[in-house]
Amino acid sequence: MEPKYIKISDLNRYIKAKFDMDSHLNKVYLKGEISNFKSHTRGHLYFTLKDETSRIAAVMFMGNARSLTFTPEDGMNVLVTGRISVYEANGAYQIYVESMEVDGIGNLYLEYEKLKKQLQSEGLFDSKYKKSIPKYPKKIGIITASTGAAIRDILSTIKRRYPICETILFPSLVQGELAKDSIVKQIKKAQEYDLDVIICGRGGGSIEDLWAFNEEVVARAIFASKIPIISAVGHEVDFTIADFVADLRAPTPTGAAEMAVPNLVDINNMLEQYKIRANKGMTKIIEFNNKKLDNIKNSFILKNPLSIYEVKEQKLDSLIDKVNQLINSKLDTMKVKYQYLISSNILKDPIGVYLKKNDKIELLKNNANNVINNLIKEKAHQYGIIVNSLELLNPLNILSKGYSVVYQNDNIVNDISKVKINDILNIRMTNGVVKTKVEEVEENGK
């Protein structure tokens, strides 16, 4: 029997049908690492899923990719759900991804970044809201687990550095589902105490262990606290949402204690330096004042106190003499004025002075009248000359001598060529106007 050859496309179609009819391949759940990721311009996603020893091609069409809450990228561990089928064009099987999420810790990280971005946009991380930590606190609140390394480190550090400070423990759960509510409760409770600062935190651990300090309710409780809060969560490399919201972030619980209180040894050394500087300053002031006192004791004034009085007496005498001179000079001036007044004619013969002034006024009055009369006569003469000149130029006076003026349509006729037979003319005479009709026109010389 001869073999029957078939087309490659027929074979791939047959294999695809086998895959599509297998119920185990219609819904598969895979986890792996993304590599060779490519986002098509049409919105489809193409990538490879791999683990330590194997890999499979994957495609996620635009309709399903729209539901993603994160941006896939190479190296990301993901959990995918989809179906296995064959792409007929090249005969390769692949997974057609219907849903995808970040695997394990990656999901927590996405939540962390999402909340961090939200709170940052609301301003909870802004430095303008950060409260200052007092340099010399009297009472410190500690919110952490009542047992464990964190509380021991905090208390031992405070006792070693600043034993005069009082500490109050607000025991709280710092891990697990109930931890966030416990932390919030203790923050609110601490507001009822007269505290200078609060240390809130715990020791190191995984991201899941520290997750309570990434919860939104804890972040908002820290932000709402009226008492400054130092965040002390995990190790130096660990950053939680609480670290960004708190007024101060410490790398470790021990570091938080060191930030919260000064070192008593340093304070004593500083006070000793202040004491030395104060003694030196006081010594200099005393020495300066002693020198000033010696100068005063040795001054001429104290040795000869009467000299002050004598100088003042001489100065007073000089001032009195000047005042007397001024008074006498003023009196002499007034006497001269007085003598002038009593010797003047106005006091000896006031009527004579009046009559003399009156005669002068009459003379001025007569002179003014003469000037005015002469001016009037001169102006009257000039007026007469002007009137006579106008009379000579008056055309009516010419008419009185027998002359007349001929008008045609209100225009003066001064040329015979402008007049025709039957024209109506107005002849202006001295006492009226004569209307006439032209019967004949005769030019001179004709």
> The domain that contains 93 carries what CATH number?
2.40.50.140
Domain count for the chain: 3
Nearest to 211 by CA among 231, 188, 234: 234
82 and 183, same domain (yes or no): no
* Whole-number pLDDT of residue 424: 87
Q: Is the dihedral of CA 132, 136, 139, 142 positive or negative?
A: positive
Domain that holds residue 177: 110-124+135-262
Span 38-76, pLDDT tens digits: 999 899 999 999 988 899 999 999 999 998 888 888 878
Per the domain annotation, does 378 fall within a domain?
no
Q: Which residue has the higher pLDDT, 262 or 410?
A: 262
Q: What is the pLDDT at residue 442?
A: 81
Domain holding 223: CATH number?
3.40.50.10550
Enter the tokens of residue 283.
Answer: 């010594």
Question: Do 96 and 140 fall within a single domain?
Answer: no
Residues 163 and 98 occupy one common structural domain: no
Within a domain: 155: yes
What is the pLDDT, as a whole number, of residue 144?
A: 95
The verdict on residue 389 lying in a domain is no
pLDDT-based confidence at 236, cuts 50/70/90? confident
Q: Which residues pair with 101 in a beta bridge?
A: 79
In a domain, 165, yes or no: yes
For residues 172 and 191, membership in a common domain is answered with yes
pLDDT band, very low/low/confident/very high, at 201 (cuts 50, 70, 90): very high
Rg (CA), the chain: 63
Question: Which position has the token pair 């202040």?
Answer: 274
- Which has more confidence, 109 or 142? 142
Length of the chain, in residues = 446
Beta bridge partners of 230: 199, 248
Residue type, 95: I
Tokens 């010797």 belong to 343
Final residue in a domain of this structure, among 240, 262, 284: 262
- Give, for 229, the enclosing helix (H) or strand (E): strand 229-233
**pLDDT reading at 315 higher than 80:** yes
What pLDDT score was predicted for residue 307?
65
Output the pTM of the full model. Answer: 0.47
**Locus of tokens 């190296």:** 75
